[in-house]
Amino acid sequence: MDISYLQKDDKPGEECGVFGAYNFDGEDVSSTIYYGLLALQHRGQESCGIAVSDTKGPKGKVSSYKDMGLVNEVFEAHTLDGLKGDIGVGHVRYSTAGSSVRENAQPLVLNYVKGTLGLAHNGNLINALELREKLAYTGAIFQTTIDSEVIAYCIARERLNSKSVEEAVGRAMKQILGAYSLVIMSPRKLIGARDPYGFRPLCIGKRDNTYILASESCALDTIGAEFVRDVLPGEIVTISPEYGILSDTSNCLPEDKVGRCVFEYIYFARPDSIIDGVSVYHSRIMAGKYLAMDDPVDADLVVGVPESGNCAAMGYSMQSGIPYGIAFMKNAYVGRTFIKPKQKNRESSVQVKLNPIREAVEGKRIIMIDDSIVRGTTSDRIVRMLREAGAKEVHMRVSSPPFLWPCYFGTDVPARDQLIAYNRSVEEIRRIIGSDSLGYLRQERLSQIVNRKGICTGCFTGKYPLDPPKEDIRGEFDK
């Protein structure tokens, strides 16, 4: 049994983060990848890894290191010093398919007849089991339980009959279905690829003579790189000193068919990132403003549940004219996942992370903004904490619609029967969490907060950009 969910918040699970770098001057890139991964740590705190190669050294020789834990825990100065190479890929992981063990950490390094591939993947395939079985019957021996290895095998197989690794990636993309942003290291090329629906973000950056691929633009800012552009949904970009950046858009879809994950803008991505030309910060501000327009309430103070609720709370305050304030102190040394106190202990796992500021809320009517309610297992405790700190009223507003459907494309939304909104009215949910009122962002506002229609809203509407599997196979690899 996979019990990792017991240590997770009542939040949708984060995505993974991918990062790649190629220094055309032959300088080592391991430290650049390290700092890039630090900036993407919010996308996964379970495991991390870096794989590098020297393009002028023996072809196919790869140095790699990966382990369970945070980036600054796994990598020390001497570890990075041992990773010599001018091209490399890195990964931070949150498991949506495959157990939480070191073997499933990425990047994956695959040795095959044409050389070596290093691969980092963000997303989930919906036909991974089918492909895995097909590959196994043709002799593939799998070392992990993650669908990323299925992608690596598909690319390696296609490479045998392709003129280049990027052609093999393009052929593999015609077989794999679902969400994937890939960063791939071959002996002489750095390749980025995004699924045709664009579920997961991926962008290109440049610092001096180093080219970067990263899940979010905030990672480029961290290392002092300039943002070049986003990788288009369905696009393959090949980076090499010989050609610079080559683009293949043969797998791209029309914009109205694209399905970017709207929850990247609501919760996953850092507010200082820009994804496909849209500011994450602005999207969250707009979500708060729409909440104030659609679900106003008379109160004394608007507060956010840190950190992801803060921007929406500011937007609510701007629109309503009700002052914005800070109601919670967050423990900066507790990540999005942690070892929960044992049941026999009196410590609340919520209060380990958050503690209300009595002076800020006592005697006041509070509007509390959070980005989502999944199972509802923490919202009631946070409401209770505010009441115990002296709040007269607690009105909860949520900057996303109710979760009604699972996600098959990389967001760890549980099965429907575990969702608090499933078969319950807003009033019933309000009574469960104990707030004085409750309001959600309206579904029609989702396209407005990102100012585009090419988004996936499946976990709210049940309408996905491509047909989901007939059975909920998430977690099958853990068996």
Q: Is 129 exposed, middle or buried (0-12, 13-18, 19+ CB in 10 A)?
A: middle
What is the amino acid identity at position 12? P
Output the six-digit token pair for 17: 């983060």
Taking the C-alpha atoms of residue 96 and residue 224, their distance in angstroms, rounded to an integer, is: 31
What is the amino acid identity at position 79? T
C-alpha gyration radius of the chain? 22
Residue 91 · residue 120 · CB < 8 Å:
yes
List of E strands, 61-136:
62-68, 87-93, 108-112, 115-122
Output the six-digit token pair for 27: 């300088």
Residue 48 · residue 301 · CB < 8 Å:
no
Number of C-beta neighbours around residue 142 at 10 A: 13
Residue 400 · residue 263 · CB < 8 Å:
yes
Helices (H), 44-202: 71-74, 77-81, 128-136, 147-159, 165-173
Residues 6+ apart with CB under 8 A from 284: 265, 266, 271, 311, 312, 315, 371, 399, 449
Q: Is 16 a catalytic site residue? A: yes
Helices (H), 324-421: 349-353, 358-361, 379-388
Map residue 102 onto helix, strand or coil.
Answer: helix
Out of 16, 48, 154, 311, which one is annotated catalytic?
16
Q: Is 359 exposed, middle or buried (0-12, 13-18, 19+ CB in 10 A)?
A: exposed
Taking the C-alpha atoms of residue 234 and residue 276, their distance in angstroms, rounded to an integer, is: 13
Taking the C-alpha atoms of residue 270 and residue 265, their distance in angstroms, rounded to an integer, is: 8
State the catalytic residues.
16
